[in-house]
Amino acid sequence: MQKKVLIVDDSPAQVKLIQGLLEPEGYPSVGLNDPRRIEETITAERPCMILLDVVMPERNGFQICRELKSSTEFNAIPVILVTSKDTVSDRYWGEQQGADGYVTKPFTREELLRAVRRFA
């Protein structure tokens, strides 16, 4: 069975970049540029994990992660934050929101795949 990944980033170019790295490795993906639609997209697509940007308009990734992890419907889905926020306090805050992994931008192909393989 293939492991579908939901990529949430307000940058279409970033979504395409991540899809281009994951799909040849056998991880089909769904890209979402509007963080307000994440719950409906999860319900429709049933991803096995979520790659989530932090800095986005309307809803930031820390807030989304906290909401997903406090939801009985979505809390079992691993969330990997993929963000340019790379301080120790950012990582700590991500952990406090329930993030299962943390990848900082810019990342290498191997860094991203290593994080994804942990939960696939």
Q: What are phi and psi of 6, to 5 degrees?
A: -95, 125
Mean pLDDT of the chain: 96
Q: Using one digit for the tens of pLDDT, what is the confidence trace for 42-75?
A: 999 999 999 999 999 989 999 999 999 999 999 9
Cα within 13 Å of Cα(9), Cβ side: 22
Residue length of the chain:
120
| Overall pTM surpassing 0.95 (yes/no) | yes
Side chain identity, residue 62:
F
Q: Who's near 31: CB < 8 A, 6+ residues apart?
A: 7, 9, 12, 15, 16, 18, 19
15-20 LR contacts (CB < 8 Å, sep 24+): 18/51, 18/82, 18/112
Q: Domains in the chain, start-ordered, CATH in brackets?
A: 5-117 (3.40.50.2300)
